Amino acid sequence: MTRGSVRGEAVAASTEWEISSGRYRAGRERVDEIFARDVFTLRVMRERLPKDVYTAVQNVLDKGERLSERQADIIASAMKDWALERGATHFTHWFQPLTGLTAEKHDSLIVPDGQGHVVFGLSGKDLVQGEPDASSFPSGGLRATFEARGYTAWDVTSPAFIVHGSNGATLCIPTAFASYNGQALDKKIPLLRSIDALSTQAMRLLRIFGSDAGVKRVETTLGAEQEYFLVDRNLYHARPDLVTCERTLFGAQAPKHQQLDDHYFGSIPNRVLAFMSEIEDELYRLGVPVKTRHNEVAPGQYELAPVFEATNVACDHQMLVMETIRRVAPRFGFAALLHEKPFAGINGSGKHINWAIGADTGVNLLDPTDETHTNLQFMTLLCAVIRAVHLNSDILRASVASIGNDHRLGANEAPPAIISIFLGDMLTDLITQLETGAPQRTKNGGLLDLGSRSLAMLKRDPGDRNRTSPFAFTGNRFELRAVGSTAAVAWPNTVINTIVSESIDFIATKLESELAGDRSPERLQEVVLRTLSEIVREHKSIVFNGDNYAQAWHDEAAQRGLPNLKHTVEALPALDTEKARALFEKYGVLDRAELASRVNAFIEKYITQCGIEAGQMASIARTMILPAALEHQRRLAETVAATQGAGVDAEPTRASLEDFVELTNRFRDRLEALEATSDLAHSAPMDHARHIKASVQPIMDELRQAGDELERQISDDLWPLPTYRELLTIR
Ligand code: ADP
Ligand code: MG
């Protein structure tokens, strides 16, 4: 049996899926009935805990107080009973190591009773503290292999939940992960520290503006939109590159892809809709408030977005969103691809992170309100963000750097690697006024008349949208659009919180000292406006409202002195600077060693992933494509001989054979070049990464080009891999 027939079988099996599955459910349960069914929420705690223990939990959440051992024991026992009722047999401390994934080590809830039987138990200590082996997770050099001790610590602010498998359920307790000496080995600890830092600094501003009444904390909020692709599982398994790398390493463009723009917001295919409903149900059970679902730009591409939540919980939920998409897809005969660029030539996937700051009283501090020009506090926060992003655009850029995202940023489908801010007409007008004195007016969008009496007048937003901007103000929040679709969003959020903390600190310090003597409203207004005017003048070059995809912007950005760190190898060094070290250290987010460890872990990941891709690519080239090419070549050669033998002019066929042999030779030559380079290891990781970028990736690009050209020429029955057309249109 040739590989080609395996491909044929994969295609045939895929098209039969819908008929044979029978998995669609007749009706769904009501969302309000299943929502958070598998979450140990505050409401559950209120019902199940003694009053004093429940109050203690609230004090942890509101005032950062600690629980006593007795209280932890009581909570653990209630949590265990609740979990057993839901079929749990095991529990796990669930955490986010530097792999960018989540980790879990399951322990059974059973305890031998000493009389030959077992009982169920979960102690306060089990709940509060765990001890996974830290040596097998990336620590970026913080821990040597023999220094294995690491701790997980219960994060009371993120509720425990239950994940159901095919054969049993597991109680998952969100935790932070630290080393024996207390250094953060995960993504949650720095995030929590950055949220605290921002709260501390923002509270100073609220006090200056006298708007701190009743506010205990300032929170950050996050709504993360997730893009992903679905491909048929049978076809996925026939593509080793998708299975190992989640992206196609070869693949010629299909005749029809996204040219007609007919997929975006198009009607959702039946099987996909059934899949989406199921992930929604699963996520609802986990308390994730999924809100939006639609087709994205590329064929086979979709998006899911939840309602925003407090950042820490939203980050945990985002990890669950990714896991759930992957886990549920096979039930519907799909494989979900979360990679940033599964297919060349069509759009890749990103993750927009919507970021705002709010008082714990529920007020969104980034809401401009109606008469924005009179809202000093909003204008101050706005200028703090502008200053933060201008001064630290390199660090923000580095926070979204990954090998997958390199394929997207700057490819005219996602914002470029140049970080800038889109403010829109209203706010741009406002900062222009601020620059020269006290703003006098707020531009408003007015009403939009659609020219038909049967259509209502629409309230027009004060500014248009700009999809090309990497960091855009979208009404009452900022949206960072440069994040990759596989990224754990905790890290870019940590970076935004930290740079904005620094900026608010800078402004608050200035205002506090200038207002020391006189705090009258007139004086406040004068000092604030003067400070903001200076900030606008110094930092407005980060604001850009035009087309970020255009070459003209790239030229202008260079003139403005904005960094254009095109790929990971150029971007990561921004984290390895004194500026970055001092910044993260000052706000207690990461000490120097913790930051260095992250840089190391990111570089290691880049090198490892590229190594895997190079190895997989060489293997497909050598064992699948080259044999097909040689077989095709043999057929051509036989045809030439047979044609000549029949006494017919074989010249045209002979010429194609010659061209084809030349192409195959070029392919083989690039393959040999790749095989020769890919295991070159250099001593310093950053040098190794640079070598990969400069020497290995160009060869991979050339090999791919030759491979895709072969795909266009080789007889379809010989081609061993499912094609783009098959992958992207079978649904
Ligand atoms: P679009 O794709 O047009 O940007 P979506 O509705 O898909 O819009 O996503 C917008 C996201 O922004 C949602 O997750 C939404 O909950 C979130 N969001 C709205 N307000 C805030 C806020 N104050 N803080 C953080 N996120 C927010
Ligand atoms: Mg968005």
pLDDT at position 462, please?
A: 65
| Cα 549 versus chain centre, distance | 21
pLDDT at 23: 53
Cα of 225 from ligand 2 centre, angstroms: 7
Kindly state the percentage of the chain with pLDDT values over 70.
92
- Find the 415 Cα to ligand 2 centroid distance in Å: 13
Q: Does 478 sit in the ligand 1 pocket, CB within 6 Å?
A: no
pLDDT at residue 139, as a whole number: 78
Q: Which ligand is in closest contact with the Cα of 367? A: 1
pLDDT value at residue 639: 96
Atom of ligand 1 nearest to the CA of 224: 14
Torsion of CA 557, 561, 564, 569, to 10 degrees: 180
The number of C-alpha atoms within 13 Å of 197 and in the hemisphere containing its C-beta is: 27
Nearest-atom index, ligand 1, CA of 223: 14
**Helix-, strand-, coil-residue percentages of the chain, each rounded to 5:** 50, 15, 35
Range of weakest confidence among 262-276, 587-601, 709-723:
262-276
Q: Ligand 1 pocket, 200 CB below 6 A?
A: no
pLDDT of 528 > 60? The answer is yes
Average pLDDT for 383-403:
97
Q: What is the pLDDT of residue 20?
A: 47
Judged against a pLDDT cut of 80, whether residue 21 lies above it is answered with no
Task: Return the pLDDT at 116.
Answer: 94
pLDDT value of residue 27: 61
Cβ 710 vs Cβ 636: under 8 Å: no
Nearest of 325, 334, 331, 327 to residue 304 by alpha carbon: 325
Does any ligand 1 atom lie closer than 6 A to the CB of residue 289? no
Q: Is the CB of 292 under 6 A from ligand 1?
A: yes
Instruction: Identify the sign of the CA torsion 486, 491, 495, 500.
Output: positive
3-state SS class at 21? helix
Ligand 1 pocket test, candidate residues 354, 365, 385, 485, most atoms within 8 A of CB: 354
pLDDT (tens digit, 9 = 90+) per residue, 621-641? 999 999 999 999 999 999 999
Measured from the CB, is residue 88 less than 6 Å from ligand 1? Answer: no
Measured in angstroms, how far is the CA atom of residue 133 from the centroid of ligand 1? Answer: 38
- Residue 350 Cβ inside 6 Å of ligand 1? The answer reads no
- Find the 225 Cα to ligand 1 centroid distance in Å: 8
SS3 477: coil
User: Which of the ligands is closest to the CA of residue 317?
Assistant: 1
Any atom of ligand 1 within 6 Å of the Cβ of 222: yes
| Per-residue model confidence as pLDDT tens digits over 107-148 | 999 999 999 999 999 999 999 998 877 777 777 777 766 667
| Residue 354 beta carbon below 6 angstroms from any ligand 1 atom | yes
Q: Is the CB of 477 inside a 6 Å radius of any atom of ligand 1?
A: yes
> What's residue 617's pLDDT?
98
Q: Residue 1 above 60 pLDDT?
A: no
| Burial classification of residue 179, based on how many CB atoms lie within 10 Å of its CB (0-12 exposed, 13-18 middle, 19 or more buried) | buried
Cα angle for residues 41, 44, 50 (degrees, 5° grid): 120
Question: 175 vs 143, 153, 186, CA distance in Å?
Answer: 19, 5, 10
Residue 313 has pLDDT above 60, yes or no: yes
Residue 63 has what pLDDT? 82
- 356 Cβ inside 6 Å of ligand 1: yes
**How far does residue 224's CA lie from ligand 2's centre (Å)?**
8
What pLDDT was estimated at residue 159? 95
Beta bridge partners of 353: 224, 480
Instruction: Determine which of 51-65, 85-99, 433-447 has the lowest per-residue pLDDT on average.
Output: 433-447
**Which of 270-274, 541-545, 558-562, 698-702 is predicted with the least confidence, judged by mean pLDDT?**
270-274
* Ligand number with the minimum distance to the CA of 479: 2
Which has more confidence, 48 or 179?
A: 48
pLDDT tens-digit series, residues 196-217: 999 999 999 999 999 999 999 9
Q: Is 364 in the pocket of ligand 1 (CB under 6 A)?
A: yes
Residue 259 pLDDT class (50, 70, 90 cuts): low
Cα 391 → chain centroid:
23
Contact of 332 with 278, CB cutoff 8 Å: yes
**Residues pairing with 152 in the sheet:** 130, 177
Ligand found nearest the CA of 306: 1
Q: Which atom of ligand 1 sits closest to the CA of residue 306? A: 14
Say how far apart CA 395 and CA 253 lie, in whole Å.
Answer: 35
Which atom of ligand 1 is nearest the CA belonging to 475?
Answer: 20
Distance 385 CA to ligand 1 centre (A): 18
pLDDT at 19 over 50: no
Quick check: 401 and 572 in contact, CB under 8 A? yes
Query: How far is it, in rounded angstroms, from Cα 633 to Cα 639?
Result: 10
Whether residue 370 is predicted with pLDDT greater than 60 in this model: the reply is yes
Question: Is 306 touching ligand 1 by the criterion CB < 6 Å?
Answer: yes
SS3 (DSSP) at 382: helix
In what helix (H) or strand (E) does residue 290 lie, and over which residues does it extend?
A: strand 290-295
Whether 476 lines ligand 1, by a CB cut-off of 6 Å, is yes
Nearest CA to ligand 1 atom 23: 356
Token reading at 135? 């040596």
Ligand that comes closest to the CA of residue 296: 1
- Find all residues with CB under 8 Å of 439, minimum gap 6, and list them: 373, 379, 430, 433
Task: Of 553, 564, 526, give the one whose Cα is nearest residue 468.
Answer: 553
Say if residues 478 and 385 touch (Cβ distance below 8 Å): yes
If you measure from the C-alpha of residue 136 to the centroid of ligand 2, how many angstroms do you get, rounded to a whole number? 36
Mean of the per-residue pLDDT values of the chain: 91
Length of the chain, please? 731
What was the pLDDT predicted at 465? 72
Closest residue to atom 14 of ligand 1, CA basis = 223
pLDDT of residue 42: 95
Ligand nearest to the CA of 288: 1
Whole-number Å distance, alpha carbon 354 to ligand 2 midpoint, is 7
pLDDT exceeds 80 at position 255: no
Query: 704: CA distance to ligand 1 center in Å?
Result: 38
**How far is 436 from 222, CA to CA, in rounded Å?**
34
Residue with the smallest CA separation from ligand 1 atom 5 is 305
Annotate 321-333 with three-state secondary structure.
Answer: HHHHHHHHHHHHC
Ligand having the closest approach to the CA of 415: 2
pTM over 0.85: yes
Question: Is 223 touching ligand 1 by the criterion CB < 6 Å?
Answer: yes
Predicted confidence (pLDDT) at residue 17 exceeds the cutoff of 90: no
Give 317 Cα–ligand 1 centroid separation in angstroms.
15
Q: Which DSSP state fits 115?
A: S
Tens-digit pLDDT profile for residues 468-508: 899 999 999 999 999 999 999 999 999 999 999 999 999 99
